[in-house]
Amino acid sequence: MKFKALLIITIIFFTSCEDKNPLEREALDKVNTLESLMEDAKNKSIDVTREETILWFSKEFLKFANWDESNKEATEKLFGYERYYADNKKQMAEELPDFERKKVIQILNKGIDDLKKELQGEIKRRPVNKVDWQNTKAANNMFVSNGKPSFPYDYFSKTVGQPLTNTDVYNDHLGAIFHGGENLYPVDHDRAINSFLLNEDGSFDEELMKELTSIPDTNIGFLIYWSMGIPEWVEEKEPEIRKGRSLFTGFDIDNPVARGLWLKLYAEQVSLLKVKRLRS
């Protein structure tokens, strides 16, 4: 019985290996190689922060490649939205999974090569100075992390609607700068700072203001002024306020009513956020 059970497990293992795309198998072999080299490096007190990021991106994009393989119709539809790719959307959707896998192999090869060189004494790299997302301070027009000026990296339009606690989105590899996009907004609002915060009587909408005040003060962060929408009460006062609009501004910024509204918003958000580590 024991032999039979082992035989079944072995068959299942080899069947699952056969099911994998050849490029994925190659990438996973290289993942194992890099992980083994990283253990050697750690034993020699060599910093492997770079390799940790290579592994993270490699594993993520192998997942993405498999999703794209199983959802080619959805991927084709997305390519169709971009005018440069629309004519070849079917071909692009077909090629995308293996394109991703090849790129993963490419970065793994580079990571393996660099770490081998350091282990063999051919090169010497400085340890990575990670950004301390929780304790970085904003002062004197700079961010200071671990006592030194820092240049934090992140996407200004990181996924809206994802919790700030989601470590798949906020981490050392993608950046962990907080912003006002944790919640989903109506299209004209889109981000936490917008024209709809102000009521016609000059008071602030307390419910909408929570989109600002509820952002946790655990990480450094930023907020975007979203100036696409304008409340109905403003349009009633100024029927021509949308004349002079531009691509990312939904109204005439020189209009006195618009200027007055936004001056109040600026003053209020500065007073609200001065105790936080968010910048707008």
- Assign 3-class secondary structure to 73-138: HHHHHHHHCCCCCHHHHHHHHHHHHHHHHHHHHHHHHHHHHHHHHHHCCCCCCCCCCCCCCCCCEE
DSSP state of 279: E
Distance CA 154, CA 221 (A): 10
Look at residue 10 and tell me whether its pLDDT is greater than 50: no
Q: What does 132-158 look like in DSSP terms, one character per residue?
A: -TTT-EEETTEEEETTEEE-----TT-
Per-residue pLDDT reduced to its tens digit, 26-52: 999 999 999 999 999 999 999 999 999
Look at residue 128 and tell me whether its pLDDT is greater than 80: yes
pLDDT of residue 14: 46
What's the order of all strands across the beta sheet hosting 137-139?
137-139, 142-145, 148-150
**Between these two residues, 155 and 72, which has the higher pLDDT value?**
72
Look at residue 278 and tell me whether its pLDDT is greater than 90: no
SS3 per residue for 19-69 = HCCHHHHHHHHHHHHHHHHHHHHHHCCCCCHHHHHHHHHHHHHHHHHHHHH
Q: Based on the number of CB atoms within 10 Å of its own CB, is 144 exposed (0-12), middle (13-18) or buried (19 or more)?
A: middle
Per-residue pLDDT reduced to its tens digit, 55-112: 999 999 999 999 999 999 999 999 999 999 999 999 999 999 999 999 999 999 999 9
Percent of residues, the chain, with pLDDT higher than 90: 53
With beta carbons less than 8 A apart as the criterion, state whether 226 and 191 touch.
Answer: yes
pLDDT of residue 227: 86
Q: Share the mean pLDDT of the chain.
A: 88
DSSP state of 163: -
pLDDT of residue 220: 85
pLDDT of residue 140: 84
Quickly state the pLDDT bin for 16 (edges 50, 70, 90): low
Tokens of 57: 């991106």
* Beta-sheet pairing, 225-226 with 137-139: unpaired
The residue-averaged pLDDT of 211-231 equals 85
Kindly list the domain boundaries of the chain, sorted by start residue.
19-119, 137-279
